[in-house]
Structure 1
Amino acid sequence: MSTRASSTRPLTATTEILEVAFLREGPKNDKVALLLHGWPDDATTWLGVAARLSQAGIRTIAPWLRGSGPTRFLSPSTCRDGRIEALAQDALELMDALKIERFSVVGHDWGARIAYALAAIAPKRLETIAALSLGYAPRGAFSVPPFEQSRAWWYQWFMSVDRGAEAVAKDPKGFARLQWETWSPPDWFDDATFATVAQSFENPDWLAITLSSYRGRWRDEPRDPRYDELHDMIARTDKISIPTLMIQGAEDGTVLMRSTEDNDRYFLGGYRRIVLDGVGHFPTREAPNAVAEAVLSHLL
């Protein structure tokens, strides 16, 4: 594995199947936080949070996930598997490439699901996890939720229908923008911000990874067998031993507050849930200072 840097572009690290692009900030020391973005978003969602963490002496690593931004598959023949276990393995291989053995994980949305998965498959490597905007699903199970939450997840059902997937393929940025417009209170972002982030959705594998992730939750989709063992490990894990912080936006329009309540029993290493009033699904962008302070109180 190799690592190289550029003064004008994100750093990159080569793993078994990816060239992973990432942002790095803060001093080189033993306190490291891996910051994992969600969907539809990218690594820049962490800029405000990372700045505050670095001021407190924490080194941050914020990659673009597979299928996003400048991160690229090394081979066109690799299965574009969007399962969380695949993304969790990407995270471990990135930290291996950077020669970082122990670290904390702070994840938003997909990143939160990756954090929970890492707690199941690599607990000895984790100090703490913080999960934003997504509650824990024991054994990584995707159960059909109550009707109200199912309605909020309309986009997942839409992509699971072939004609819905075809519509997303025709206008992926328009589809992503609709989520930004409806998952948080009005006027929380401007056109320039979305346009900048949407460049990450131009990745040639963004659509494939998006569809694999969401369609694969509810129907059979092509899988990369190299991740099957990790899938089985997650499926055997009911409770998490890593100290965990969960941050929920009170106005989240896609992961409703009720869906993240009453999870304390699944955390053996301690669990705290914080609700941010007036904040929707993107707390890293809507309230970076509040997120940073909460994460710092958990890491230090």
Structure 2
Amino acid sequence: MINYISTDFLTVAFRQNGPDDAPVLLLLHGWPDDATTWNEVIPPLTDAGYRVITPWLRGFGNTTFRAESTNRTGNAGILALDAIALMDALSIDTFSVIGHDWGANIAESLAVGWPDRVLRIALLSTPPRLGGMPTPPFQHAQLEWYHWFQATKRGEDAVQKDPIGFAHIMWENWSPKGWFTESTFEQVAQSWKNPDFVSVTLHSYRARWDEAEPDEASRQLETAIKTTKTLSLPALYIQGEVDGVNPPYVSENVHEKFTGPFTRIVMPGVGHYPSREAPELLLDHLLMFLAN
């Protein structure tokens, strides 16, 4: 069942599973995806004794802006502020975060901004931005072509005309051939018909490379993320062996960003979407991490 709750700027669509008094896990999806990416891992997590909160990010699914005057921004800092607003609205004080893709960057942003509330983080498929984002080497920049494409006027026009076709290319290229069915893609793509999906997407990718300013409300947090070199909380990084956009070599030095307990796992035969491609194996790693 989808629930709805209002924050200052959003009406957030989310699912909530598990006992109200259980330890809280906030599961954050990435792009292009939606909250259903967690469908296979939610029941085992609740069976293991956790309360699981899975929202749709701003611009996705039925999460909507409350006012036309609110900027349709999507940088990680403002998405982290959205997440904290959701936790506040639910009267949740402390929690752990599991984030995929965009969700991974939101998770680290939460750890930077609210270290007294975030107990541990698991990052899936996307390395942290701590210390700022240097221009990637040519080999990786080629894989991130869609970042640069969206920074151009012609790219913007093309994405606005066919955001679903744009997203389909990512699903085709980021994981092994045949990993998804078209019916699954079509179901998830309903979330990208949100009227603000394109605006949030374009701003997210432009802002990370300084081609757009971050949302003003998140400027202080964005500065903190760029100036924070390491985190000390328990952290897990999960990397698909055949990830087509962030191959294993991209995350080889992720351990340098963490001074506390840290584990990096490369999942064999898995691409960019571990929660969809190998949920049982992912769950094993998550439960071990959460229990320690």
Range of TM-score over shorter length? over 0.9
Number of matched pairs: 291
Retained in 1: the 8 A contact 2:98–2:123?
Answer: yes
Deviation at 1:269, TM superposition (A): 1.7
Query: Who is 1:226 aligned against?
Result: 217
1:87-236 aligned within 5 A: 87-139=79-131, 141-221=132-212, 223-236=214-227
Retained in 1: the 8 A contact 2:151–2:211?
Answer: no
Structure 2: 5+ residue stretches without partners? none
Query: Who is 1:278 aligned against?
Result: 269
Root-mean-square deviation (CA, aligned residues, Å) is 1.1
Structure 1: 5+ residue stretches without partners? 1-8
Q: Partner amino acid for 1:205?
A: D
Q: Partner amino acid for 1:75?
A: A
Deviation at 1:296, TM superposition (A): 0.8
Percent of aligned positions that are identical: 47
Pairing partner for 1:82 from 65, 74, 81: 74
Does the C-alpha gap of structure 1 residues 45 and 91 become closer, same or farther in structure 2, counting only changes over 3 Å?
Answer: same
Retained in 2: the 8 A contact 1:251–1:280?
Answer: yes
Query: Who is 1:30 aligned against?
Result: 22
Q: Partner amino acid for 2:268?
A: D
Retained in 2: the 8 A contact 1:119–1:241?
Answer: no
Retained in 2: the 8 A contact 1:136–1:260?
Answer: no
Deviation at 1:90, TM superposition (A): 0.5
Local SS of the residue matching 1:66: coil
Q: Partner amino acid for 1:61?
A: I
Instruction: Report the TM-score when normalising by structure 1.
Output: 0.95
Aligned equivalents of 2:118, 2:166: Cα separation in 1: 35
Aligned equivalents of 1:182, 1:170: Cα separation in 2: 21
Aligned equivalents of 2:203, 2:18: Cα separation in 1: 34
Q: Partner amino acid for 1:163?
A: R
Q: Partner amino acid for 2:286?
A: V
Aligned equivalents of 1:235, 1:142: Cα separation in 2: 8
Does the C-alpha gap of structure 1 residues 220 and 148 become closer, same or farther in structure 2, counting only changes over 3 Å?
Answer: closer
Retained in 2: the 8 A contact 1:66–1:209?
Answer: yes
Query: Who is 1:60 aligned against?
Result: 52
Deviation at 1:75, TM superposition (A): 0.3
Deviation at 1:218, TM superposition (A): 2.5
Local SS of the residue matching 2:15: strand
The farther-off stretch of 226-235 and 99-108 is 226-235
Aligned equivalents of 1:146, 1:51: Cα separation in 2: 40
Q: Which runs of 4+ in 1 moved over 3 A?
A: none
Aligned equivalents of 2:27, 2:89: Cα separation in 1: 16
Does the C-alpha gap of structure 1 residues 124 and 229 become closer, same or farther in structure 2, counting only changes over 3 Å?
Answer: same
Deviation at 1:223, TM superposition (A): 4.2
Query: Who is 2:281 aligned against?
Result: 290
Instruction: Report the TM-score when normalising by structure 2.
Output: 0.97
Retained in 1: the 8 A contact 2:75–2:215?
Answer: no
Q: Partner amino acid for 1:181?
A: E
